[in-house]
Amino acid sequence: MEKIRVAIVGYGNIGKFAVEAVNEAPDMELVGVVRRPSSLSKPIPPELNNITVVSDIDELENVDVALISMPSRLVEETAVQLLNKGISTVDSFDIHSKIVDLRNNLNLIAQDNNSVAIISSGWDPGSDSMIRGIMEFMAPRGVTDTNFGPGMSMGHSVAVKAIEGVVDALSVTIPLGTGIHRRMVYIQIEPESNFDQIKENILKDPYFVNDETHVKLVPNVKDLIDVGHGVLMERKGVSGSTHNQLLKYEMRINNPALTSQIMVASARACLKQNPGSYTLIEIPIIDLIYGDREELIHKLV
């Protein structure tokens, strides 16, 4: 069996777990990890000692799929560069309001370069989106509430870290029910920085403007970090003309580990799609799973 050659672009929380997930996939081969040039001047993390680490993907040969393990605001630029090289991409872009625009922007580029982009391939957006879709066709009329947490939001935390004057940050999502959330943001700041100005910048960031958000100054963010997270999704709706159909889905997870696992499954699916850009709800579930198609049908159906 010819293995799928995978590169990991970025080595933060998701990238570290992506290395493990690719190495555990029987149909994949980890070609290398692409890190910022500034990172290469520092000691290589021990877990990367036997892995090729480069500053540019051009230094790697015959990459089939690149897992973009970078902040959402860097995804589009990185994906465009990779797709133009004919390399398929998978990302975990999590700015919900901009997903359709990203999909459309990458679609023609992927088609022109005979490649595939699977976007927003984490657990939400991503696998939760698929569950919401399943609930929708089970009860076409009704209301679905997605309640996140309690847990660390990687996207929100990274957005805060990017604000000038912030040394480190943690954003914790607290579910209040019916899809409403509170954001608890804990920050360390540079000694001369203005806390009130930083707080204002956080509150007006698109990641936070739609939720109740509290910003707290702490001496050491690392003492607070727990990457656990979760979701409770509930739908109350109507099947045909029958009311009171109650559907529930719940999970408690390690956030970056699950995100990277879904990205790896999406890398497998890349090779089974026509050129273009896709969200997970457009991908056949069986394309994400390793194994013989008929055996999978026998096992799962």
Predicted confidence band of residue 38 (pLDDT cuts 50, 70, 90): confident
Six-digit token pair at 158? Answer: 């990274």
Task: Judge whether 121 is annotated as a binding position.
Answer: yes
Predicted confidence band of residue 40 (pLDDT cuts 50, 70, 90): confident
What pLDDT was estimated at residue 42?
A: 81
Chain segment 183-219, per-residue pLDDT in tens: 999 999 999 999 999 999 999 999 999 999 999 999 9
Task: Judge whether 229 is annotated as a binding position.
Answer: yes
Whether the Cβ atoms of residue 169 and residue 175 lie closer than 8 Å to each other: no
Chain segment 108-163, per-residue pLDDT in tens: 999 999 999 999 999 999 999 999 999 999 999 999 999 999 999 999 999 999 99
Task: Judge whether 122 is annotated as a binding position.
Answer: yes
Task: Judge whether 123 is annotated as a binding position.
Answer: yes
DSSP 122: B
What is the bridge-based pairing of β-strands 116-118 and 88-91?
A: parallel
What residues does each domain of the chain span? 4-125+255-300, 141-239
The alpha carbons of the chain give a radius of gyration, in whole angstroms, of 20
Annotation: CATH topology of 4-125+255-300: Rossmann fold (3.40.50)
Task: Judge whether 255 is annotated as a binding position.
Answer: yes
What pLDDT was estimated at residue 39?
A: 82
Task: Judge whether 298 is annotated as a binding position.
Answer: no
Task: Judge whether 86 is annotated as a binding position.
Answer: no
CA-CA distance, 274 to 213, in Å (whole number)? 42
Task: Judge whether 93 is annotated as a binding position.
Answer: yes
DSSP 286: G
Task: Judge whether 177 is annotated as a binding position.
Answer: no
What pLDDT was estimated at residue 266?
A: 98
What pLDDT was estimated at residue 170?
A: 98
Task: Judge whether 11 is annotated as a binding position.
Answer: yes
Task: Judge whether 151 is annotated as a binding position.
Answer: no
Task: Judge whether 46 is annotated as a binding position.
Answer: no
Kindly report the pTM of this predicted structure.
0.94
Task: Judge whether 103 is annotated as a binding position.
Answer: no
Per-residue HEC secondary structure of 47-91 comes to HHCCCCEECCHHHCCCCCEEEECCCHHHHHHHHHHHHHCCCEEEE
Task: Judge whether 17 is annotated as a binding position.
Answer: no
What would the CATH number be for the domain defined by 141-239? Answer: 3.30.360.10
CA-CA distance, 208 to 185, in Å (whole number)? 10
* Identical fold, 4-125+255-300 and 141-239: no
Task: Judge whether 112 is annotated as a binding position.
Answer: no
Six-digit token pair at 69? Answer: 């393990």
What pLDDT was estimated at residue 81?
A: 98
